[in-house]
Amino acid sequence: MKVKCVLCDKIESIDDESLIAKRLRNRPIHTYMCKQCNDRIAEKTNLRIATGNFRFNRPKTEDQEW
């Protein structure tokens, strides 16, 4: 299966039977990102987290006592 990176428009081939290929076929909202772009984003995110100015916008969960 040929896929195109959404950031750098690089075209790559992936195995038709892989989990990534199945997700791309069955759910059109999923997009493909090449290894280099994925690593670059992960590195920059980790640098932002290390500065202390990065906030996760996750809902606060309240512990329920049974």
pLDDT digits (tens, 9 = 90+) for 4-21: 999 999 999 999 999 989
pLDDT confidence band for 36 (50 / 70 / 90)? very high
CA angle 52-6-36, nearest 5°? 60
The string over 26-36, giving b where at least 16 C-beta atoms fall within 10 Å of a residue's C-beta and e elsewhere, is eeeeeebbbee
40 pLDDT higher than 90: yes
- Look at 55 and 2; give whichever has higher pLDDT: 2
**pTM (predicted TM-score):** 0.66
